[in-house]
Structure 1
Amino acid sequence: MSVPFVISRAATEHIAPAERIHYWEDYNHQALVGLSCTSYSEQGLLARQTNIELGGLRLADIAGNAHAVERSPKTVRSAPKDSVFATLLLKGEAVFLHENGCLAATAGELLVYDTRRPYLFGFSSSMRQILVDVPHDLFEQAGVGGGLPGPMLFGRGTAREGALVAALSSLLGGVAALSGGPLGPADAEEAVLALLRRLAEERTGGRPGPDVYRSQLMVAEDYIERRLHDPCLGAVQVAGVMGISVRHLGRIFESTGTSPARHIVERRLVRAHQELVEPDARETRIADVAHRWGFSSQAHFARLFRSRFGLTPSEARAEAKKCAQSRTASGHPDEP
């Protein structure tokens, strides 16, 4: 079985500190994408990169110290790149600034974005990422979604989404290790695209609808998911950020069988329930949980919670504690 093919490698360790930024920018312009780089470390930029061919895809295994890379509007024009990047962060924390806002990513999360749009990607400490370079035509042929309307962060939304990101991480890790693994390059390429497609479907629930609505739904749900803590979050705010009317936003959500307002309440309740039943949160006040997830009062939160889950918040917490104790007892029968 054939193994992935290494296109090139680069490292700044043996480059004079004053020349490292220039070297890194020049290498990436040739091997990956045009960008500018900034490092605030006294050591200068310490980074390494391996670029791997995987069928029609390219993988870049990148590690380094704290730094930032930017594709400014000027760079986008002077060094065009017609690809979608899917960046899996394996180590560190990152901030992704784009024309409509900011995304914060941590290790284990996947960020998908369009290289034709300006961005700044900053890493606050030592980092490692595996970046998948997917040409736009291949991205569209794979049916990942009706285009990419904006940067998307995956890994926090649902347990299923987390499992898909974990599967992608395992697959990409095997490719980056150049072990070949159980899949050849062609099969690995197909598997990567299939996982990206399933992640897009998970974000929209696999719901049908016009491509433009599907893309807009992904943007709306992603924006909502990242702002559930905001008590002012509502259809007006979401529609305003997207530059559409509230009525049009309602049409986008029709395929989900719910409205934007009900979707927001549902996601808040689910996230609040997840927090309440976690062992580490047993001492957290229910009023604090309600406030943290954007509910105006504990009483209002309790009514909605009971209607959704059939238990009060206190009962849900007690039930989770009882189940945990039962599992512990059954796993350690000799303990008193």
Structure 2
Amino acid sequence: MNGEGMDVIEVSQPSLTRASTQDVPESQRIDYWEAYNASSLTGIRCSTHDSRGLSASVARCEVQGLTLSDIRGNQHIVERTPQIVRNQPKDSIFACLLIEGSAFFYQHNRCLNISAGDVLIYDAEQPFLYGFPGIMRQILIDIPRSRLMDECRAGQLSTPVQIDGHVGAGRTLSGALRNAGLRLMAGTRPEDAERCWQLISTIFNGGPGMQRSRILPLVEAKSIISSHLSNTELGPEFVAERLGISVRHLNRLFGGEDVTVGEHIRNERLDSAHRDLSDAGQAGATIGEIAYRWGFADLGNFNRVFKQRFATTPSEARKKGLLKLLS
């Protein structure tokens, strides 16, 4: 119930509840969605710039201690402010699989760009902002912190983590989580709930095919890399030191990936440089300035590895970006 006394409307099925902003007048949809989240998920503040107002729906089920929500909507932003955190505590870790659309997520002074297929894991007890620029759909898994502590000996996240759902072990995880989650939402079968939990345990503890490593440290390593691309000291030793592990262990974490630690760093830097070179808004910066911005101290080496990765030179990439603007 919100401040105006409006009841949250739910249509129940066995083990499954549904809610939609289409069930209330347009002027009440934001209040409705905030009230639903406060009563069934966690307290948030919601807004939208869509001229048609907020259009959002959820199917929610609770099985074997896990709560899954299949959330769909148009452009909107949800924010869990420090005041809401204080007034409406939520002792859970959220794991979100974005199925459709794109998103951006801000927490602990980090902003992550999320693509369809990626898995986002974050602490719901910390303030955050989660935005969706367009049509979206995601499966959100509410994991009680107590269960993580009991069964995975984990429960704290110092920073949000993003698992790339397009490469390596992340692609396998994303596909399996999607299949189990959607089957569970369709039929609420206990075996699918168990499969979801097995996948969550794999994220925190490792599992078959992980070469005795763990996904979460690998994601943390990639997060460190993405946050320090402009630092010329960035390398395997730099990353290992901040993770508190040996370089040898770090190399094992990347054992299931298609690239080494050094190659991943180089590719991330090259992708960032390519993005800036293709951006007409960056036309005022020289190629050398952009190269240095992303950690390349040697322009000759930058030109060589850039062409190896993109089959084009930095100057040609810049020309293509300008031509797109003019076309």
TM over 0.5, shorter chain: yes
Instruction: Please identify, of 217-226 and 291-300, the stretch whose mean Cα deviation from structure 2 is larger.
Output: 291-300
Kindly indicate whether the alpha-carbon contact (under 8 Å) linking 1:268 and 1:294 is maintained by their aligned counterparts in 2. Answer: no
Matched residue, 2:262: 265
Change (3 A) 1:304 1:17: closer
The match for 1:196 among 177, 197, 200 is 200
Q: Deviations over 1:51-91 (max 9, x none)?
A: 11121000111101100111101001100011111111111
Q: 1:161 aligns with which of 161, 170, 179?
A: 170
Provide the TM-score with structure 1 as the length reference: 0.68
Q: Is the 8 A contact 2:145 2:155 kept in 1?
A: no
Say yes or no: does 1:150 pair with 2:159.
Answer: yes
Is the contact between residue 142 and residue 194 of structure 1 (CA under 8 Å) also seen in structure 2?
no
**Number of matched residues?**
272
Match of 1:82 in 2: 91
In the alignment, which residue of structure 2 is the partner of 1:224? 224
Distance 1:47 1:144, change over 3 A: farther
Does 2:249 correspond to 1:256? yes
Cα distance change of structure 1 residues 69 and 61 upon mapping to structure 2, 3 Å threshold: same
SS state at 1:58 partner:
strand
Query: How far did residue 196 of structure 1 move?
Result: 2.2
Aligned partner of 1:141 among 129, 150, 153: 150
Correspondence list, 1:46-85, <5 A: 46-85=55-94
Deviations 1:257-278 (A, max 9, x none): 669xxx752423566999xxxx
Flag the 1:256–1:173 CA change in 2: closer, same or farther, 3 A.
same
Structure 1 residue ranges without an equivalent (≥5): 209-213, 240-245, 275-286, 306-311, 318-336
Distance 1:303 1:18, change over 3 A: closer
Gaps of 5+ in 2: 1-12, 253-259, 272-286, 312-327
Contact in 1 for aligned 2:75/2:134 (Cα 8 Å): yes
> What letter matches 1:148 in structure 2?
L
Residue identity in the other structure for 1:111: L
- Is contact 2:95-2:121 (8 Å) kept? yes
Q: Give the Cα separation in 1 of the matches to 2:261 and 2:242.
A: 13
Q: Cα distance 1:41–1:232, how it changes in 2: closer, same or farther (>3 A)? A: same
Amino acid at match of 1:96: F
- The question of 1:175 aligning with 2:174 is answered no
CA contact (8 A) 2:21 2:57 kept: yes
**What is the deviation of 1:252?**
2.9
- Residues 108-167 of structure 1, C-alpha deviations (whole Å, 9 max, x = no match): 111011111000100000111110011001122332746322211112584222111111
In the aligned structure 1, how far is the partner of 2:63 from the partner of 2:135?
Answer: 26
Letter of the structure 2 residue corresponding to residue 226 of structure 1: S
In the alignment, which residue of structure 2 is the partner of 1:38?
A: 47
| C-alpha displacement of 1:218 | 5.3
User: What is the one-letter code of the residue matched to 1:232?
Assistant: N
**Distance in 1 of aligned mates of 2:149 and 2:218:** 16
Change (3 A) 1:247 1:158: closer
Going from structure 1 to structure 2, the CA distance change for 1:18 and 1:58 (only over 3 Å counts) comes to same
Q: State the TM-score, normalizing by the size of structure 2.
A: 0.69
- 291-300 or 159-168, larger mean C-alpha shift: 291-300
Do 2:118 and 2:166's aligned partners in 1 also have CA atoms closer than 8 Å?
no
Tell me how far 1:7 sits from its aligned partner: 4.1
> Following TM superposition, by how much is the alpha carbon of 1:173 offset from its aligned partner in structure 2, in angstroms?
1.3
